Structure 1
Amino acid sequence: MTTSITAQRSPYLWEPSSERIEQSHIKAFAEFTGQPLFPYERFHRWSVSHLSEFWSAVWDYAGIIGEKGDRVFIPGPSMPDSTWFPEARLNFAENLLRGSLDRTVAYEANETGVQRSITLEELRQSVAKAQEGLKQLGVQKGDCVAGVTTNNIQGLVALLATTSLGATWTSCSPDFGTKGIVDRIGQVKPKVLFATTSYQYKQKPFDIVDKIKQTTEHLEGLSALVTFGGETSIEGLQSLSWDELCNNEASEPTFEPVPFDHPLYILYTSGTTGLPKAIVHSVGGTLLQHVKEHQLHCDVQQNDVLFWYTNTAWMMYPWLVSGLASEAAILLYDGSPVRQDSLTHLWDIADEVGITHFGTSPKYLDTLMKAGVDLKSSHSLDTLKSLLSCGAPLAPEQYNWIYQTIKQDLFLASISGGTEIIGCFVMGSPVHPLKRGEIACKALGMAVDVLDERGASVYEEKGDLVCTQPFPSMPLTFFGEGGEERYRKSYFSKRPGIWTHGDLAEQTIDQSFIIYGRADTTLNPGGVRIGTAEIYGVVDHIKEINDSVVFGLPKDNDEEIILCVVTEKLTEDLAKEIRRQIRAKASPRHVPKRIYQVEEIPHTINGKRVEGAAKTAALGDAVKNEASLRNPSSLQSFRHLSERKFA
């Protein structure tokens, strides 16, 4: 008698080849440290239990230019009181302007395609001239310089010239309103403002000369305005064009060495209450975190081409810029990711410049998915090695679609972290097999865990994403009065001594991760915690739904789930289908009590839907930071939600 054994299908969508593992940075780094790479859980435990040894090895492996000093980590009485590399001296720009002078280091593209590229030699010369111009304007170590800039080479040069002097850079996207800009960079009192006078989006030009003039009137301590694209004269303020700033004989930049914890960037969170938090990040912490993430987790190699679709207001902009420190080229893109005549515009550019690492958002991928785009049949994508996604959880269905329609041998990584740490807590890895709907692993050097309300570590159960050990890219402080207190209250008040990030997450028994969205927007019907991402994971894939937002409203000492959708017409049949799919693909507890049709969903400038603002407006309360929204007029629908018919 013979026995038939049916082979089980692999649970993995993708598994790295032995060749890919052997050639990876993370494998080379493990050998460099004398630690076995596998099992990864052991390697990770080593990285968070031997913090000095691990972060010192990251510095050495990445070849950081500067003096490291003898001491790496000095524990403090609490996480934010710890000290990193107290004797180190380095310069951020020097570490980015490195490598072979004749290689291409940046490409600039927009809605009409690739505009130009620049070699390292040309970039260094441009930085030298901008640096000299800034010196003549009196900028020195410790000053703050701001940019209202598009994502292009000029903006990159301004950033690098600023940091080469040991000054601090902060930036906003030009599509912010005047109040949105002032609410951010007005807090930090920049000495010099770089500003574009126009930009384009969806092939429509925008002149913002008046907006820039209004902005300068509210910037205390501003001594000079440098404009891209046109001259803007403002009474009582030194105003000059970019060409005038760079009209000098400098040809080689100099680099001002600064301490490890010297301020490098000020980034802003787009909260919906009060002014945005102005988060100060250090030179050394940013650089070390980024080279670790790029090299060990994303496997960015020399001469790769790294791209992330971002504007200059989002933390993924400085994350992208740091790709230069790994001697990769970066693609700087300004404009809409899709054109009216082409949903695949970014992929045309990817083929043209040879992108190896393509960074984007689930929303963009969903747009392509709903439109039935099949990149395998239309693009070669020969150079593409990795697809990276963040900003929201990547839905399980999107994992399947990516491998079916983009590329089969593709290192896909959904990553999750935040502006507050200018990096990631959980990431992909070039040596981990990938399951749909999951993030591969804890990032090295990050003591990540998921804790329940008792403070106990839990698996296969939703809880708070936390970090239990210090790491170099923790904020220096929040800028402004009471900043230190506000910083500690934001992340350490719930669990003293432990960073509680504010995300609802789950770790599997394989120690991979699922992120369910922000804990402060978690739904709680009947006392059961539900992540909004679980509902979006269903609704976003219903073809008739163009956009949606979900939140909870109080009802009889409990909470009802409210779903608002943008669609052509909300019929009873469509509402029935929405509920059926949510019940089948999520659970009966996820089914919304009421479904409303609205004209628009509130989004931040960076494209994140703002559940808190929608809920606040629906409750009839004032949304205190409408300036952080791309479309504040969208809130009108929610303010009158109770008067609307629902399904």
Structure 2
Amino acid sequence: MDRSVLWRPEGEALRDSALARFSRDCGIDPGDYETLHAWSIADPGAFWSRLWDFAGVKGERGPVALERDPAAPMTGARFFPEARLNIAETLLAGAHPERAVLELDETGARAELSADALKAEVARVARGLREAGVMPGDRVGVVLPNRIGCLVTHLASLAVGAVWTSCSPDFGLAGILDRIGQVSPRVMFVQPRIRYGGKDIDLAGRLGDLAGRIDGLETLVTIGEGEVKAPMPVIAWDDFGSEGPLEFEPRAFDDPCYILYTSGTTGAPKAIVHRTGGVLLQQLKEHMLHGDLRPGDSFLWYTNTAWMMYHWAIAGMGCGATTVLYDGAPILRARDGLDCSPLWKAVEAETLTHLGISPKYLSSVMEQGYRPGEAHDLSSLRWLMSAGSPVSPQQYDWIYDAISPDMGFASISGGTEIMGCFLLGSPLHPVRRGQLTVKGLGMAVNVFDERGAPVLGRPGELVCTEPFPSMPRTFWGPDGDARYRKSYFSERAEIWTHGDHATFHPDGTAVIHGRSDCTLNPGGVRIGTADIYNVCAQFPELEDFIVFGRPVEGDEEIVLCIKMTEGARADADLARAIRSKLRSECSPRHVPGAIYCVGDIPMTVNGKRVEGAARSVVSGKAVANRGSLANAGCLDEYAALSERTAL
């Protein structure tokens, strides 16, 4: 018996899942995923054409599937150069007729729209955008929470051929200007009052200031209560647009649809321009084939509207599933502590089939001793998914013990840059402890060592060696193409270097060790931060932690900073226990040279640790863009760490 296997799919998956049906349509046995994947990257034109038809993409595909440039096999590749399509048309055509979208929030409020009602709202706002002068290619910006109004702006902008770009209301003024301010939206939608974590927050003043500082902004639309004063027309949501037919502007495959932004922790956020057809094909493939999302299913991914997982989750609508939106905190303060129930209540009450969360959220629930499977009926849940950072083996154990032993789990890994995944789940494969399940179809993913040779069973750089349709079109702004190529192709000509440190195993599974730019290098040996985080997660006394390298006399020492749970004490005994466990479970090289207790861990607004900022401050360097951090003030403590005595 293989103890690493935590779950196996039922035999019917080989018969009924979309992945099995697609494999048979391609003339390949569903049990032979290796061959299916090999074909998908050997003949990408045929694979993506077959997927277009299988997924029911609306529009004209054109006679040419892929144009290759021998001089630039990756950056010069063009998929479906004669295609015409519109993302919103395909998504709305697939929307669940009775319950296209469901909105929930932290107060327990609930709203839903049928497909016809959603289309009517999208048509109204699309007419409003056209009346405001928005043309294909113009940018539409939003600073909105994850509610139905945001979804309507999203689909309406795509319907008129505009480029939709978003920030979450919890970004500060500087963070929004650093992002949306780059791309000069013609129209912007905002919500002056929001609620998060039990607190009502008035953003009207900040939003008015923001509107006045965005070049080219002609119209501001407000959703909900609150008055925003701005130096351009301000229109209330209910007064924007008018009734009429829903019309979709045909777009070329490579026409821009979204602009998303990098985290900005190493400089100004890069504005990544995404292709219409590439985003749609990639996301339908991932939901339909890898995520086992079926007509009639319901899918909630806990996300804010700035993260790519928002765009990704919305695409599930095209599979006939109900899109479930959640606005607010996933863990609430209660009189007797923390209430971890909101998302699990949603699963039970709405019989959700798919739930997406982050490893950070899993850690928080685990620390509270909450066991969702005992507190709620989760029998409807077929798939749990996680993204944002590596999931530790111990978290895998907890999932199958405390949530449900009878569901699939997929840790997925990709990025904002590709609007999708390189590695993700499969309804045809077992879930193995601590492992990402399969390489995505159509993605020629590999791990290269320092020689540029592919390796199995040992760490290296995650790369992609063949073109795929959701590669970015460019970066927004001057020299965008050059900056894009420098980011992903400068290390290896015409080979996408993703920036992750990973290991591939002979059985097709993989482990992500962390970002390459955060890889530790004591004594010249590369170590992934995730390996250390996986061990630290086993100590209940630790609320959070961060690890980074500090230069010392021509070498690098590992520095571990720990944040204690309430009532726990950091002392020499705890430091010895951490070091001992790292030595036994990892290696002597993983043992930190210094451990410090700190008040907080630097995070992005999306909840990702910012190792680079901590390393820069400790090394006496400036942090390039403090505005990208949710809690930049905590870095002041890190600046003085070298003057303290470590544990």
Q: Supply the distance in 1 between the matched residues of 2:96 and 2:527 (Cα, whole angstroms).
A: 52
Aligned length: 638
Residue 493 of structure 1: aligned partner: 490
- Farther-moved stretch of structure 1 (388-397 vs 95-104): 95-104
Select which of 161, 164, 189 maps to 1:166: 161
Matched, 1:347 2:341: no
Q: Supply the distance in 2 between the matched residues of 1:490 and 1:212 (Cα, whole angstroms).
A: 32
Contact 1:144 1:169 in 2 (8 A): yes
Residue 21 of structure 1: aligned partner: 14
Contact 2:96 2:321 in 1 (8 A): no
Contact 2:204 2:226 in 1 (8 A): no
Contact 1:92 1:287 in 2 (8 A): yes
Residue 470 of structure 1: aligned partner: 467
- Farther-moved stretch of structure 1 (132-141 vs 441-450): 132-141
1:36-51 equivalence runs, <5 A: 36-51=29-44
- Residue 9 of structure 1 and its aligned partner are, at CA, apart by 4.7
Residue 144 of structure 2: aligned partner: 149
Q: 1:577 to 1:225 in 2, by over 3 A?
A: same
Q: Supply the distance in 2 between the matched residues of 1:105 and 1:326 (Cα, whole angstroms).
A: 11
- Residue 257 of structure 1 and its aligned partner are, at CA, apart by 0.6
The AA in structure 1 aligned to 2:308 is: M
Q: Supply the distance in 2 between the matched residues of 1:30 and 1:9 (Cα, whole angstroms).
A: 27
1:368-379 equivalence runs, <5 A: 368-379=365-376
Q: Supply the distance in 2 between the matched residues of 1:591 and 1:432 (Cα, whole angstroms).
A: 35
Matched, 1:241 2:259: no
- Residue 137 of structure 1 and its aligned partner are, at CA, apart by 0.7
The AA in structure 1 aligned to 2:137 is: G
Residue 571 of structure 1: aligned partner: 571
The AA in structure 2 aligned to 1:232 is: E
Residue 609 of structure 1: aligned partner: 609
Residue 522 of structure 2: aligned partner: 525
The AA in structure 1 aligned to 2:37 is: H
The AA in structure 2 aligned to 1:55 is: W
Contact 1:101 1:121 in 2 (8 A): no
Residue 204 of structure 1: aligned partner: 199
Secondary structure at the aligned position of 1:612 is classed as helix
Secondary structure at the aligned position of 1:504 is classed as strand
- Farther-moved stretch of structure 1 (141-150 vs 266-275): 266-275
Q: Supply the distance in 2 between the matched residues of 1:349 and 1:16 (Cα, whole angstroms).
A: 25
Residue 98 of structure 2: aligned partner: 103
Contact 2:291 2:427 in 1 (8 A): yes
Q: Supply the distance in 2 between the matched residues of 1:551 and 1:101 (Cα, whole angstroms).
A: 47
- Residue 337 of structure 1 and its aligned partner are, at CA, apart by 1.0
Secondary structure at the aligned position of 1:93 is classed as helix
Instruction: Mark the runs of 5 or more structure 1 residues left unpaired by the alignment.
Output: 1-7
Q: Supply the distance in 1 between the matched residues of 2:374 and 2:230 (Cα, whole angstroms).
A: 57
- Farther-moved stretch of structure 1 (437-446 vs 634-643): 634-643
Residue 217 of structure 2: aligned partner: 222
1:160-559 equivalence runs, <5 A: 160-230=155-225, 232-234=227-229, 236-246=231-241, 248-250=242-244, 252-341=245-334, 342-559=339-556
Secondary structure at the aligned position of 1:35 is classed as coil
Q: Supply the distance in 1 between the matched residues of 2:226 and 2:187 (Cα, whole angstroms).
A: 15
- Residue 42 of structure 1 and its aligned partner are, at CA, apart by 1.4
- Residue 102 of structure 1 and its aligned partner are, at CA, apart by 3.6
Q: Supply the distance in 2 between the matched residues of 1:456 and 1:413 (Cα, whole angstroms).
A: 28
Q: 1:217 to 1:235 in 2, by over 3 A?
A: closer
Residue 584 of structure 2: aligned partner: 584
Q: Supply the distance in 2 between the matched residues of 1:525 and 1:140 (Cα, whole angstroms).
A: 54
Select which of 93, 96, 118 maps to 2:88: 93
The AA in structure 2 aligned to 1:481 is: P
Secondary structure at the aligned position of 1:581 is classed as helix
Q: Supply the distance in 1 between the matched residues of 2:618 and 2:164 (Cα, whole angstroms).
A: 37
- Farther-moved stretch of structure 1 (598-607 vs 228-237): 228-237
- Farther-moved stretch of structure 1 (143-152 vs 571-580): 571-580
Q: Supply the distance in 1 between the matched residues of 2:219 and 2:584 (Cα, whole angstroms).
A: 60
> TM-score, structure 1 length as denominator?
0.97
Select which of 120, 132, 139 maps to 1:137: 132
Q: Deviations over 1:319-369 (max 9, x none)?
A: 011111111111111111111232121100111111111101111111222
Q: Supply the distance in 1 between the matched residues of 2:372 and 2:510 (Cα, whole angstroms).
A: 28
Q: Supply the distance in 2 between the matched residues of 1:590 and 1:114 (Cα, whole angstroms).
A: 47
Contact 1:230 1:241 in 2 (8 A): no
- Farther-moved stretch of structure 1 (39-48 vs 464-473): 39-48
Q: Supply the distance in 2 between the matched residues of 1:123 and 1:272 (Cα, whole angstroms).
A: 37
The AA in structure 2 aligned to 1:571 is: D
Q: Percent identity, aligned pairs only?
A: 47
Secondary structure at the aligned position of 1:449 is classed as strand
Select which of 9, 14, 23 maps to 1:30: 23
Secondary structure at the aligned position of 1:193 is classed as strand
Residue 4 of structure 1: aligned partner: none
Q: 1:375 to 1:235 in 2, by over 3 A?
A: closer
Q: 1:101 to 1:406 in 2, by over 3 A?
A: closer
- Residue 421 of structure 1 and its aligned partner are, at CA, apart by 0.2
Q: Supply the distance in 2 between the matched residues of 1:58 and 1:388 (Cα, whole angstroms).
A: 23
The AA in structure 2 aligned to 1:514 is: V
Contact 1:366 1:541 in 2 (8 A): no
Q: Supply the distance in 1 between the matched residues of 2:20 and 2:312 (Cα, whole angstroms).
A: 23
